[in-house]
Structure 1
Amino acid sequence: MSNSLKASMAGLAIVDKARQRLGWTKTSTARWWQDAHTSRATLRRFWQGDRIQREIFIAICQAVGISNWEAIADAVNLNSDIADITTPYLDWQQAPDIESFYGRNQQLQQLEQWITSDRCKLITIVGIGGIGKTALVLALTDRMQSQFDFLIWRSFSTVPSLISLLDSLLSIFDQTVVQDISQGTAQLIYHLQKRRCLLILDGLDAVENLNNYNQFIQQLSRNHQSCILITSREQPKAIEINSTTICCLTLKGLPKTDAVELLKSRGFTGQELGLSTLIKLYRGNPLALKLVTPLIQSVFVGNVATFLAQNTLVIGDRLRTILKQQFMQLSDLEKNILYWLAIWQEPITFCRLQTHLLVSVDPATMLETIVALERRSLLEKWISFEGTSFTLQPLVMKIVIDELIENAVQEIYQVMQSSNITHFKILRTHWLLRPGTDDIASDRILHQLQQKLWQVYNATLPQTLNQIFLLLKDQSPLAIGYIACNLTTLLNA
């Protein structure tokens, strides 16, 4: 009996269905090759139809629940090599491992069409943190790797500069860059012209200064036979979408059916009361659902309804860091708008939003800012008979409220230390009591802020706030803004 085996085409189809049921990708789910006591490289060879050791072949099948491995093996002409299998050159060290992948069939088909039929040269996949952009690209390469000569993955989080990126890419083709971006870009495009490459640039939003990349990205959109895939939390301004060479896919949360499959893989049955509400609360964000499920399982013994009854939103440290990083990259006007939407906690029209700004902003600038926030998947749009309204999706709402409270506490501390009210930013420009209501007890932001302040000042809080009132004496209305309103509300509370 031969010491090596390869899979038949029919066998690969059986394995493919088995791994889909588990939510595993073909080659990027670490658990698969770990359970089989092998490596990612060997798993790739299995999918390519190459011969691998008999014991490992069997272990790969068993890892996805297939005990009848004989049905997977190619029993015909065991001593011959598979014919005409194109094995692409893989530079995949920077590609992450993923635990599971569910759904996204429509998005995968759309991407395949853009790459194969439409021959798009540049594709961007954008969406909020945790939505699954990287996982989608990994799943796509599982399906399409045989159609390329080279598959190259680069993560912007590990690339310090454009020169470094070009050096890294050109080293694949035995070339190096002489400290010249233009020359290096031209050399890269030359190689993209000669060979059919799939170049993945993951996490463009990690780049602090995109100006150096603008021209580079524009040049990657033309004059070659390859495909460049860029993932980012927002569409790069340098890219003008058109239907011939450049396409953009905006990724939203998982639909209910796929989200339920994900939750079932985390130990739920799919029949739990409140499961649909949980999915809606987290807007089908795969990472958010994965992070909250261990808490529900351990603290609430898997009772989703009991967790939801706590009327709180739990965000894991990993997702919190991602969303906070995105928030910190926003302009002051963008942050101010998000703060107002967090204070309202319900959809608000564009006109009504404008009336609450301390300093009026040109409507055109406001509209551009709203569009920019929507492009970053930070806003939710509501259409009603009153017109279009905007609010924040719950995950973003949680992060913005936390930032607002943290900064408000810091502002009060700085003012008390310096006796200078110029340290007031948020408390000057935003009235924390939701406009149109005086129901202080039900206002979450004020309640949370009061709790934080009591932790810092204890019983001296009223005295502290009254001392700040003295600093407002003889100040102009513009300098005071909403400060007095906020202090009064806190004192009355």
Structure 2
Amino acid sequence: MSNSLKVSPAGLIIVDKARQRRGWTKTSTACWWQDAHTSKATLRRFWQGERIQRDIFIAICQAVGISDWSEIADLSDIDLTPKSQLTTPFVDWDEAPNIEGFYGRNQELEQLEHWITDGCKLVTVVGIGGIGKTSLALALADRIQTKYNCLIWKSLSTSPDLLSLLEQILSSLNYPVIQDVTQGIKQLIKLLQQRCCLLILDGLEAVLSNKESASTYNYFIEMLSQSRHQSCILITSREKLSIINNNSQIFRCLTLQGLPKTDAVKLLQSQGFTGKELGLSALIKLYRGNPLAIKLIIPLIQSVFAGNVAAFLNQNALVIGDRLNTILQQQFEQLSDLERDIIYWLAIWQEPISFSRLQSHFLSSLDPAMILTVIAGLEKRSLLEKWVSENEYSFTLQPLVMKFVTDKLVENAVQEINQFVPSNEIGHFKVLRTHWLLRPGTDDIAGDRILLQLREQLWRTYGATLPQILNQILSLLSDKSPLAIGYIGCNIMAIFHHLHS
């Protein structure tokens, strides 16, 4: 008997029912392939009906609860007829991450599958960090992989230069060594023409942070999308591509939102909650259904609040896990000065603000077209939420972004005062000069929140000497021009107010 086995079509149905009974995904449930002492890539080949080692085939069956592996195996004679390079299935999942717990997204999966079936050459899934773009791409690939005879998953998280990426893809398929990017793109297009391929590029934002790399990759993607071929390129990214046109039948873009309540509750149940706890709906709304954010906050609720969601919510604290904080920090570092100015104002307002009102806060007059361009760029990066009321657009930050930017704003303000103390130079004030930290026109608790946070941090550092430092700052403003002072005086007086309140 052959030392390799493959599953029969009828066997696939049996296996599928077995894994559904256990609540497992086809390939992303780690315990399945780990219990079988194999790899996720081998498990994917099993689902594709490819031959795998006999002992691994049996182990996969036993892990999912099928004791009689022969009932699902295709025991027909092995076809030893050589197959051409073009018809032999090729699957490269090695760079696909191991992700457990995929919930919902049925509507999104159906939409993506419809676009691809309809002939889309380029499909992008965009959204804020942690929203589930990679998980969705994995689920989609599992769902449609049998329609392709070549599937390649490449992670761009290590920011590979384009030549290296092309070399990796082509060398795995025994294509000749390429000399440059132009030759590599031509060879890849030839591959996409010869085979029906699904090429997945996960995490495109990693190569868009560098202008030169971004230009090269944008050219690469545009060339692939404009060429005639029978394949599809699926891209996940935190940023929208400028070449995407949602009205086109060839290019499609799905902006991924948070999980709806029903699916978010299932996620919470998988982490030990019953789904009936008081406050679950408010928790999901607070984190906008972001799967990663919810997963990261669960251990804190369980360990500190003994699983009491309502007790956590009563703290009025939005907690960002380290992984999300790192993602947001990466995005923040890539922003221009004007982009940071705008998100700081949005953090100060903490609610949707119209373009005209936002524009009025800048110390110097700016070209409205420039501000609109920056707002469009922030929205493209999945950092903004857009609201429409009375035919006017308003903008605000997503809650997780709001929390991160608020902390960053306070951190920078503290740093500026720390720099002032030894130097006695008001030139160190940048954020405190350009932004009034009390929301203009308000004296409510929400408007004071940033100032309260700033006062607490300054008091921990300077204690009873803080009033003296603030007075010293005010004394240096008397002979300065209004433009040089900006909002410094307003901010210092507001901190004084909070010290005596």
- What TM-score comes out, normalization by structure 2 length? 0.89
Deviation at 1:385, TM superposition (A): 4.3
User: Are residues 82 and 466 of structure 1, via their aligned partners in 2, closer, same or farther at CA, if it must alter by over 3 Å?
Assistant: farther
Deviation at 1:348, TM superposition (A): 1.9
1:491 aligns with 2:496: yes
Tell me if 1:253 matches 2:258.
Answer: yes
CA contact (8 A) 2:196 2:231 kept: yes
The corresponding residue for 2:95 is 94
SS across alignment from 1:450: helix
Deviation larger for 76-85 or 211-220? 76-85
Equivalences for 1:207-356 in 2 at 5 Å?
207=207, 208-209=209-210, 210-223=214-227, 224-356=229-361
Superposed CA deviations along residues 317-350 of structure 1, whole A, max 9, x for unmatched, are: 0011112211222222222121111111122222
Instruction: Give the Cα separation in 1 of the matches to 2:248 and 2:354.
Output: 32
Cα deviation code 1:337-396 (max 9, x no counterpart): 211111111222222222222222222222232222223222222333484322222111
Instruction: Pick one of 367, 374, 390 that aligns with 2:395.
Output: 390
Native 8 Å contact 2:127 2:239 kept in 1:
yes
| Structure 2 Cα separation of the partners of residues 83 and 278 of structure 1 | 58
- Displacement of 1:230 in angstroms is 1.4
Structure 2 Cα separation of the partners of residues 476 and 42 of structure 1? 70
Tell me the residue number matched to 1:136: 136
Distance in structure 2 (CA, Å) of the matches to 1:155 and 1:303: 38
Q: Is 1:74 aligned with 2:71? A: yes
Amino acid at match of 2:71: D
What residue ranges of structure 2 are gaps of 5+ in the alignment?
Answer: none
- How far residue 198 of structure 1 moved from its aligned partner, in angstroms, is 1.4
Alpha carbons of structure 1 residues 473 and 185: separation in structure 2 relative to 1, 3 Å: same
Distance 1:60 1:263, change over 3 A: farther
SS in 2 for 1:213: helix
C-alpha deviation, 1:50, in angstroms:
4.8
Q: How far did residue 407 of structure 1 move? A: 0.9
Counterpart-to-counterpart distance in 1, 2:70 and 2:480: 83
Residue in structure 2 matched with residue 145 of structure 1 by the alignment: 145
Shift of 1:167: 2.1
Contact 2:203 2:236 in 1 (8 A): yes
1:79 positional shift: 4.9
Number of residue pairs matched by the alignment: 488
Q: For the aligned residues, what is the CA RMSD?
A: 2.8
One-letter amino acid of the counterpart of residue 33, structure 1:
W
Match 1:377 to one of 379, 382, 395: 382
Contact 1:432 1:486 in 2 (8 A): yes
Contact 1:24–1:101 (Cα < 8 Å) also in 2:
no
Contact 2:28–2:99 (Cα < 8 Å) also in 1: yes
| Structure 2: distance between partners of 1:330 and 1:380 | 17
Deviation at 1:51, TM superposition (A): 5.9
Distance 1:436 1:78 in 2: 78
Separation in 2, partners of 1:217, 1:325: 23
Distance 1:319 1:83 in 2: 51
Structure 1 position 4, deviation (Å): 7.8
Q: Which amino acid aligns with 1:214?
A: N
- The 8 Å contact of residues 12 and 47 in structure 2, kept in 1 or not, is answered as yes
How far does the alpha carbon of each residue in 1:118-138 deviate from its partner, in whole angstroms, 9 at most, with x for none? 221111111000011111111
Give the Å deviation of 1:401: 0.5
Give 2:440's aligned residue. Answer: 435
Q: Which whole-Å deviations, capped at 9, do the CAs of 1:301-332 have from their partners, x for residues lacking one?
A: 21111111111111110011112211222222
Do 2:12 and 2:72's aligned partners in 1 also have CA atoms closer than 8 Å? no
Look up the equivalent residue of 1:489 and give its one-letter code: A
User: Per-residue CA shift, 1:9-47, capped at 9, x if unaligned?
Assistant: 454335435545766432233232113333223322431
Q: Distance in 1 between matches of 2:23 and 2:315?
A: 30
Percent identity, aligned pairs only, is 67
1:422 and 2:427 are equivalent in the alignment: yes
Matched residue SS, 1:201: strand
- 2:156–2:206 CA contact under 8 A, matched in 1: yes
Q: Which amino acid is the alignment partner of residue 105 of structure 1?
A: N
Instruction: Write the distance in 2 (CA, Å) between the matches of 1:23 and 1:83.
Output: 37
Would the aligned equivalents of 1:260 and 1:270 in 2 still touch at CA under 8 Å? Answer: yes
Distance of 1:77 and 1:369 partners within structure 2? 58
One-letter amino acid of the counterpart of residue 172, structure 2: I
Corresponding residue of 1:114: 115
Aligned-pair distance for 1:412?
1.4
State the secondary structure of the residue aligned to 1:220. Answer: helix
- Work out whether residues 6 and 73 of structure 1, in 8 Å CA contact, stay in contact via their aligned partners in 2: no
Q: Say whether 1:103 aligns with 2:104.
A: yes
Distance in 2 separating the partners of 1:120 and 1:103: 24
- Cα distance in structure 1, aligned partners of 2:187 and 2:57: 41
- Return the alpha-carbon distance in structure 2 between the equivalents of residues 385 and 236 of structure 1: 30
Distance, in Å, in 2 between the alignment partners of 1:216 and 1:151 is: 19
Please name the residue that 1:40 is paired with. Answer: 40
1:154 — aligned with what?
Answer: 154
1:357 maps to what in 2? 362
The whole-number CA distance in structure 2 between the counterparts of 1:460 and 1:33 is 62
User: Is the alpha carbon distance of 1:105 and 1:14 closer, same or farther for their aligned partners in structure 2, counting shifts above 3 Å?
Assistant: farther
Q: Which amino acid aligns with 2:31?
A: R
Code of the aligned partner of 1:220: L
Query: Could you tell me how far apart the structure 2 residues matched to 1:291 and 1:324 are?
Result: 17
SS at match of 1:458: helix
Check the 8 A contact 1:288/1:319 in 2, yes or no. Answer: yes
Query: Which residue is equivalent to 2:468?
Result: 463
- Separation in 1, partners of 2:88, 2:186: 27
- Greater CA drift, 279-288 or 237-246: 237-246
For 2:446 and 2:192, the matched residues in 1 are separated by 62
User: CA deviation digits over 1:137-167, x for unaligned, max 9?
Assistant: 1111111222222211222222431222222
User: CA, structure 1 residues 45+184, in 2 after alignment: closer, same or farther (shift >3 Å)?
Assistant: closer
CA distance 1:284–1:24, shift in 2 (3 Å) = farther
Alpha-carbon distance in structure 1 between the residues aligned to 2:380 and 2:22:
33
Q: CA–CA distance in 1 between the matches of 2:470 and 2:247? A: 56
Structure 1 window deviating more from structure 2 (433-442 vs 305-314): it is 433-442
Flag structure 1 segments of 5+ consecutive residues without an equivalent: none
SS of the aligned residue for 1:431 comes to coil
Stretch deviating more after TM superposition (220-229 or 372-381): 372-381
